[in-house]
Structure 1
Amino acid sequence: MNSNSLNNKALHVNLREADMQFFRYNCGGWKAAATLSECYQPDRCGPRRFSFVGGGGKTSAIFKMAEELSDLAVLSRPGAEKRKVLIAPTTKMYLPRDGCVLLSPRLCEVREALAVEPYVVIGQRAALPASAFEPKIEGLPSSFLEEAAMHADVVLAEADGARHMPAKAPAEHEPVLFPGTTDVAAVMGLDCLYRPVREVCHRPELVCRLLGVSPEHLLTPEEAARLLMSEKGQRKDVGTGQEFYVLLNKADGPEQLCLAGEVAKNLESMGCRHIAASSLSPAEG
């Protein structure tokens, strides 16, 4: 591998296992899940191409899923081969501090790394990093991503930005779904609820237009669900052949999980079939 690769075994985000909990919404209530990936039908056949969209928490979810899906213990299938997991943003993402990161790689380097590393991150240095202390990577050309994905069992792509806000509405150019996306995962932080739209939403003017509210309006669970399910919100560009998931993050206690239940109840009434909640630790991006 070239000098642009960073090879460390530590997970790039300081995810504290004891603080993490995951839940699946089923029949009007929450059921505990052992892992985050359990909420995303991990045993579905065929290659999986996930595009993560929405509010803050995408990066944490992506790296947690990568860690789980590359772990044979999570697969629970004796004798199973290592699952090849590729993290490939299509827009911008903070440069991971650790793990196998390949910057502007050749295809052969990606293939070799996937065979031995728990997971592999690919991208190129962003032309305008957030700051000298927080460099970002951005997506590689679509044609290269398509070729790289052929060597992976699972692709996890960050497909839009949120500027650390828990909720958002997509701009005209968003999302940038990964080529051949099979699954779209929308993320929302529960700390957006009952707070002013202007304080908790990225692109608040678009959120206000979509929901028909003012910037000072306090976001309700029903409106949060509408934002997630709208074709002008997080379901934008989701095709009929793609699975759609919602992850309600920051369910850090009984009160927050109760709020998540209010959102989930509305989501279910709007036709959402895959709803999860998590208490992922914060990460960059």
Structure 2
Amino acid sequence: MDIWEKLRLEPERHRVVALVGAGGKTSTLFALAREARAAGLTAIVTTTTHIRPHPRLPLTGETDGEKLRALVDAHGVVLCGRREPTGKLTLAAAVETCRRAADVVLVEADGAKMLPLKAPAGHEPAIPPCADAVVAVAGLDGVGQAVEAACHRPERVRALLGAGEGHLLTPADVAALLAHPQGGRKGVAEGMAFRCLLNKADTPARLQYAREAAALLAARGIESAIHSYTEEERGGLCWF
């Protein structure tokens, strides 16, 4: 349970985990599912926005709770979503229905256009009300890049940071984006655990950036974890 433990989350207490932010949500989604299954738990992976289907996980658009539970019991891990014309998946069964059908439910609740960092639009993120925990993800490969190059919704990022065009992102900016109530913490209701995952700490420089950001988050009372995925692990295709 490496990722669960790094994030100080417990599947028995944090049964519905929503992932927001950028720079590694999908990899983390499937990592959490794989670790839960390895621990003998069942899991549903779903989305309140959009997600690409996993080629080796059973896919269902089932919305009936009993039928969904039977599928989960048969397969261990199930991807629950309705296929759209684009090929991506959107929400099928309500997250609360998924919660009753599996031990843990992992929800991709935000989009970032494959960029390392973001600030949410007015309608984002789509955190389900039944979430027990929210994990805000950030990619350390955005540090040192201009906001316009590294961020989804760069105009919102600049507004939250009070930065001008061409601003080069720093570890302090990453921490500020994650901690901001209109950034990584947006939509996190009282009672939901909040964690940050500082991802792509895969070089000495990025590891140092992550440590600096983690210290700044800790000063705000926010728990974070530092991690990196191998090239093979990115996207979670190798785990199932």
- TM-score calculated relative to the size of structure 1: 0.77
What residue in structure 1 maps to residue 136 of structure 2?
Answer: 186
- The equivalent residue for 2:89 is 137
Which letter does structure 1 place at the counterpart of 2:47?
P
Matches within 5 A, 1:172-251: 172-251=122-201
Deviation per CA, 1:119-176: give whole Å up to 9, x if none: 111010124x1xxxxx2101126xx332221122111000010000000000100010
2-structure distance, mates of 1:267, 1:58: 19
Quickly say closer, same or farther: Cα 1:262–1:104, change in 2 above 3 A.
Answer: same
Equivalent of 1:255 in 185, 205, 208: 205
Counterpart contact for 2:115–2:151, Cα < 8 Å:
yes
Q: Secondary structure at the match of 1:92?
A: coil
Structure 1's 110 and 104: CA in aligned 2 closer, same or farther, altered over 3 A?
A: closer
Are the equivalent residues in 1 in contact too, given 2:11–2:36 (CA < 8 A)?
Answer: no
2:25 aligns with: 58
CA contact (8 A) 1:51 1:178 kept: yes
Is 1:120 the counterpart of 2:78 in the alignment? yes
Q: Matched residues in 2 for 1:104 and 1:45: separation?
A: 24
**Cα distance in structure 2, aligned partners of 1:47 and 1:225:** 24
Partner Cα separation in structure 1 for residue 182 and residue 53 of structure 2? 29
Q: Residue 33 of structure 2: SS of its match in structure 1?
A: helix
Give the drift of 1:39: 1.7
- Aligned to 1:150, what secondary structure does the other structure show? helix
Does structure 2 retain, via aligned residues, the 8 Å contact 1:52–1:158? Answer: yes
Provide the identity percentage: 36
2:229 — aligned with what? Answer: 280
Q: Name the aligned partner's letter for residue 62 of structure 1.
A: L
For 1:57 and 1:43, locate their aligned partners in 2 and report how far apart those are by CA, in whole Å.
20
Could you tell me the TM-score, scaled by structure 2's length? 0.91
Bigger Cα displacement from structure 2, 174-183 vs 34-43: 34-43
Which structure 2 residues correspond to residues 13-162 of structure 1 after superposition, within 5 A?
35-43=2-10, 45-46=12-13, 48-72=15-39, 82-127=40-85, 129=86, 135-140=87-92, 144-162=94-112
Q: For 1:219-257, what per-residue CA distance to the aligned partner results, in whole angstroms no more than 9, with x for missing partners?
A: 111111110000110100112211111101111133221
How far apart are the structure 2 equivalents of 1:221 and 1:268?
Answer: 13
> What displacement does 1:56 show?
2.4
Q: Deviations over 1:9-28 (max 9, x none)?
A: xxxxxxxxxxxxxxxxxxxx
Q: Which has the higher helix share?
A: 2
The alignment covers a number of residue pairs equal to 233
How big is the shift at 1:88? 1.3
Q: 2:164, 2:125 → 1: CA distance? A: 24
Q: Residue 88 of structure 1 aligns to a residue in which SS?
A: strand
Q: Give the unaligned 5+ runs of structure 1.
A: 1-33, 73-81, 130-134
- For the residues of structure 2 that align with 1:214 and 1:225, how far apart are their CA atoms? 18
* Aligned equivalent of 1:6: none
Q: Describe the SS at the equivalent of 1:246.
A: strand
How much is the aligned-residue C-alpha RMSD, in angstroms? 1.7
SS in 2 for 1:188: strand
Q: Distance in 2 between matches of 1:251 and 1:170?
A: 23
How far apart are 1:108 and its partner, in Å? 3.2
Q: Secondary structure at the match of 2:51?
A: strand
The secondary structure found in structure 2 opposite 1:93 is: coil
State which structure, 1 or 2, has the greater radius of gyration over its C-alpha atoms: 1
